[in-house]
A and B are shown apart, each in its own frame.
Chain A
Amino acid sequence: MNISGLSFNALPPIDLPFRYFLTAPLFVIFCGIYLLSYGDSLWLSRWTTGMLTLTHAFTLGFISMVMMGALLQLLPVIGGVGIKKPRFIATTCHMLHCVGTCSLLLAFNAPTLWWLYLAIFCLTLSFLIYIVALIQVLIKKLSQGDSVIGFRLAVFSLMVVVLLGLGLLSRNLDLTPFGLSKLTLLADKHFTNIHAVWGIAGWGSLLIIAVSFQVIPMFHVAPSFPTRIKKTMTWFVMLFLISYIFFPVWAMPLLFVVHAIFAFSLLSVLARRKRRIIDTTIRYWQFAAIALLLSNAIYFFPESWLMLTNDASIFHNLAHKKELILAAIIIFGYLVSVIQGMLLKILPFLSYTHLQQRCLMDFSAMQYIPNMHEFFTKRQASILFYLHCTSSVLLLAVILENQFYYFFAVLLIIEFLYLFFLSLKTVLLYFQVSNKISLSSKG
């Protein structure tokens, strides 16, 4: 092991992840307002302008935003090495990511090409800089094998998703002068599916799986995941993702099955945790695992059985909307749940860790650091969880019965305003205490 590159204090400045965490809920709040103004026709299929806007506001604006911010911090904690020039990288990427995502959302809705150009420019540059910075760290021999392999595969998936996304966007541009007319190949719906599946099961899920191997034993004093699962799970996901490109019909069920296995092992590890006190993050993990199992049940339930019922029944509707329902359960019930639960843990954790590191040299300043429950209370965390449960149920309701969209949109706004409030509260308390520590060391 090369010890020269290791630093026990390589945490990047905390305002960098904070800005990712604070902007992420704003995109979902925007989704809520957009849903209210769009009306119930948004839910007719996955191809409506509204649905494209909604999915990208969630996946780019919320999920990727939080994951990019969290990775900045997780790499030094888990791998022992952080990215180089974190302030430059994070500031540039965050700004470009925000502008790029907003432009993309506008491009879906406004007929002008300028938004599209801006989206392509900003998102290409932002992902390029971010991915190159990550690769420079991930190619090193890092200390923690299993999680780091998952990170590598997740970042590889992100590259595939971004490249395909750019290819799909470029269909709207005239590229014949550049000899790229063959991009019309991408008009095939299969490429959109690869983009979506690699985004959800690759970038999103692989990162969550890799992180779970590390943080669940750490935060909840639970046993480690079985070695076989830790060593093979992320590779299997990658194998089935690659297979999906060539043989989608048989690779898709395997992707579902491997996620069901993950869900079962997650529930089993959590059930055997030693730390039994009530913890909202645990409930989020359990909720996410149940969402994965539910998605499996719906995916494997024979459609022909559902169609046996009469035309107006909810089961008939379920069969028609299966694709949309599965996407909703996996994105909102699994990915968003885990991310929200993790935010509840890492916001106070990072704040505390950074404040604690600042007191290594000035021991007396420890007295100013709030305990973990002073950033926000357990009750506040529970409220957010119940809001999320309710909006998850309403999301399914709205897909099946579109006229409920109003209730879902309002609840979505409330839920993410509350998340924003909790994040802001933590950030403000952090800076307040940080100032006290600065004053104490000057004195």
Chain B
Amino acid sequence: MTSIPQYMTSKHRECDDYFTEAESAVAKENWSEATGKWQQFSDELALHLTQEEETLFPQFEQATGMTAGPTQVMRMEHQQMRALVQDLDNALNNKAKDEYLGLSETLMVMMQQHNMKEEMMLYPMMEQHLVNGEQLISSFEQS
């Protein structure tokens, strides 16, 4: 059985992999590879954010009664990430290398500090407070 921190952290790493591969491809101006990797990244990211927002966060809020706390900040940061993903989509479609690399550095920084907060604090807190954590993860694994 996989725990919440293990599974969700492994998904962060998976996103990082696609992200860095897309970024390297853009740096080499290999646009077809970049588009493929970027698509994989944005699909994985979208799924991950949805799993948090629609399943894990509500369950955590219910278990702890903290609705205006960490999960609220995480939701707002998700929104900002989605906006940056949109900007990166546009840069990729326009094959604007410098703009893409500036934006990708930005998203990278935002994602990493966001991930750190989740991995260091939120996920361990979830594991502590959600009794059905492993069941939730196995439902994610099957989806």
Contact residues of A with B, CB < 8 Å? Answer: 1, 3, 6, 8-9, 77-78, 80, 143-144, 214, 218-219, 221, 274-278, 349, 352-353, 356, 359-361, 363, 366, 371-374
Contacts and interface: CB of A to CB of B under 8 A. Distances in A.
A426 to B, nearest CB: 14
A356 B110 contact: yes
A6 B70 CA distance: 9
A359 B113 contact: no
Q: Chain B, interface size: which category?
A: 35 or more
Most A CB contacts (10 A, CB to CB) among B16, B99, B102 go to B102
Interface in B88-103: 98-99, 101-103
A77 B113 CA distance: 8
Contact of A275 (B20, B120, B125): B20
Contacts of A359: 80
Given A275-B20, A276-B20, A359-B80, A77 B116 contact: yes
Interface in B78-119: 79-80, 83, 98-99, 101-103, 105-106, 108-110, 112-113, 116-117
A338 B69 CA distance: 35
Contacts of A1: 121, 124-125, 128
Contacts of A373: 98, 101-102, 105
Contact of A353 (B16, B74, B113, B120): B113
Given A143-B124, A218-B113, A360 B105 contact: no
Contacts of B64: 3
B17 A274 contact: yes
A221 B108 CA distance: 9
A221 B19 CA distance: 10
A9 B76 CA distance: 12
B120 A221 contact: no
A363 B79 contact: yes
14 contacts: A1-B125, A78-B120, A80-B120, A214-B116, A221-B112, A276-B20, A277-B24, A277-B101, A353-B109, A356-B80, A363-B79, A372-B109, A373-B98, A374-B102
Nearest to A360: B76
A274 B125 contact: no
B73 interface: yes
B73 A360 contact: yes
B103 A8 contact: no
A356 B80 CA distance: 8
B83 A372 contact: no
Contacts of A349: 109, 113
Contacts of B116: 77-78, 214, 218
Nearest to A223: B13
A77 B118 CA distance: 11
Given A275-B20, A277-B23, A371-B106, 20 more contacts: A3-B66, A8-B73, A80-B117, A80-B120, A143-B120, A218-B112, A219-B109, A274-B16, A274-B20, A276-B20, A276-B27, A278-B27, A349-B109, A356-B77, A356-B80, A356-B110, A366-B83, A372-B105, A372-B106, A373-B105
Contact of B77 (A3, A218, A360): A360
Nearest to B19: A221
Interface string B119-138: 01100110010000000000
A278 B101 CA distance: 11
A380 B120 CA distance: 34
A249 to B, nearest CB: 41
The residue in A1, A144, A274, A353 that gathers the most chain B C-beta atoms within 10 A of its C-beta is A274
Contacts of B108: 219, 221, 275
Interface in B29-49: none
A374 B98 CA distance: 11
B24 A276 contact: yes
Contacts of B125: 1, 3
Contacts of A363: 79-80, 83
A219 B24 contact: no
B70 A8 contact: yes
A349 B111 CA distance: 12
Which among B70, B79, B117, B120 has the greatest number of chain A C-beta atoms within 10 A?
A: B120
Contacts of B120: 78, 80, 143-144
A218 B99 CA distance: 22
A275 B70 CA distance: 29
A433 to B, nearest CB: 13
Contacts of B24: 275-277
